[in-house]
Amino acid sequence: MIFAKEETLSRAEIEKIQLERLKETVARVYEKVPPYRKKMEDAGLRPEDIRSLSDLSRLPFVTKQDLRDNYPFGLFAVPKEELLRIHASSGTTGKPTVVGYTKGDMDVWTECVSRIACAGGATSKDVAQICFGYGMFTGALGLHYGLENIGATIVPSSTGNSEKQIMFMKDFGTTLLVATPSYALRLAEVARGMGVDPKTDLNVKIGLVGSELLTDAMRDEMHKWWGDDMLVTSNYGMSELMGPGVSGECEYMDGMHINEDFFIPEIIDPETGEVLPEGEWGELVITCIKKEALPLIRYRTKDITRLTYEKCKCGRTTCRMANLSGRSDDMLKIRGVNVFPSQIEEVVLSVEGLGPHYEIIVEREGYSDKLTIRVELAQATDSFGVLERISGAVKNKLRVVLGLDAKIMLESPNTLARFEGKAKRVRDLRLK
């Protein structure tokens, strides 16, 4: 089902809304946010210079560093009294990034998440278990409000205590799961350990996964554990932009539909900052055109994707972004080769006999980088031949995909760390 008529507008209609809202936003931040005014002045721009959507590319970028430099409320465009909610990122490196919402922002957020939840198959009949961590992180509460708005029954179980999560799923008849893909797999593993087969003993038919990228191989893995009839869609967002709800996949799973009446997407070359044509891979840049508290303009997401404006089979006309292929700052440079962890994940998941968990270790040995991949055996064997075939397959496929030699370490099941939030699968020891 399509939630809002804005998802099916013609290109001309959508662009009309975008231009109107862009002009209004630029004028407002110029007037109310001093660091913005300074950025624009430095670029020799005034609000009236923005006359068409193509003028967007003349505006300066905003980065996470700008948010940190203006911690906590320096980029806000409304007085603090107007805020209804404050969220913050974990801030593992440096100060956390702080975001705020007015009443209007909360309504827009709810609307956006309702749209993507609907696109992912959610209805008022669903029992939605939200296994994202509640708290300062936007994921849980974002999905919470959006799904509630649709009329679904919410089970706000948060993360942790996986056995109890499974018990709730069984006893409450959960039909929809919100989690990171890696936590969804972990939950299936825990269920099996309890003698509960997620395919037959649970009724979870919809997975709305996010906060981590979903590769095709990971989606296959989800089906393997949760059942082929589960509709697994990924959705996208980040707290700086709003939280979840920026975009999400529909049942055709051919890219995530962007809520374009609220967000204008661009793809740039991460090195030069130059805007790239439709279809090319690059860094996603998002301009918020209907945010009151924190209207970021040309925010560099660091996420690597590409866009298409072709009409989708589902009937939506909104721009779609491909499932992320990585983050520009997750990219590892190993012996001069650009490596995205997602490429390694695809390989690991394609080899028979291995579980879906892995760890990537990069070390410096002498003057050269050494890449080690730790993987878990999913099937027991008594044969060295089988073990060699498994590690050999990973090694050969990595050589084909990356052109790099890696050391493969086979591990016993359940050896590698499991994650409830974003998975941390890379250990880069070269920095030390």
Closer residue to other proteins in complex, CB, 70/415: 415
Q: Minimum distance between the CB of residue 345 and other proteins, rounded to whole angstroms? A: 21
Tell me the Ramachandran region of residue 160: left when phi exceeds 0, alpha when psi lies from -120 to 50, beta otherwise.
left
Q: Minimum distance between the CB of residue 191 and other proteins, rounded to whole angstroms? A: 16
Round to whole Å and give the CA distance between 291 and 258: 15
Is residue 72 reached through a cis peptide bond, with omega within 30 degrees of 0 on the bond before it? yes
Strand order in the sheet with 206-210: 153-155, 127-130, 176-179, 206-210, 231-238, 243-249, 256-258, 320-321, 307-308
Positions touching other proteins (CB under 8 A) are 377, 379-384, 387, 391, 409-415
Q: Minimum distance between the CB of residue 223 and other proteins, rounded to whole angstroms? A: 24
Is residue 366 helix, strand or coil?
coil
Q: Minimum distance between the CB of residue 4 and other proteins, rounded to whole angstroms? A: 48
Q: Minimum distance between the CB of residue 367 and other proteins, rounded to whole angstroms? A: 23
Is residue 409 helix, strand or coil?
strand
Task: Report the run of H or E that residue 249 belongs to, with start and end.
Answer: strand 243-249
Q: Minimum distance between the CB of residue 428 and other proteins, rounded to whole angstroms? A: 22
Burial tier of 197 (Cβ tally within 10 Å: 0-12, 13-18, 19+): middle
Closer residue to other proteins in complex, CB, 367/384: 384
Q: Minimum distance between the CB of residue 159 and other proteins, rounded to whole angstroms? A: 22
Round to whole Å and give the CA distance between 333 and 63: 22
Burial tier of 428 (Cβ tally within 10 Å: 0-12, 13-18, 19+): middle
Is residue 375 helix, strand or coil?
strand
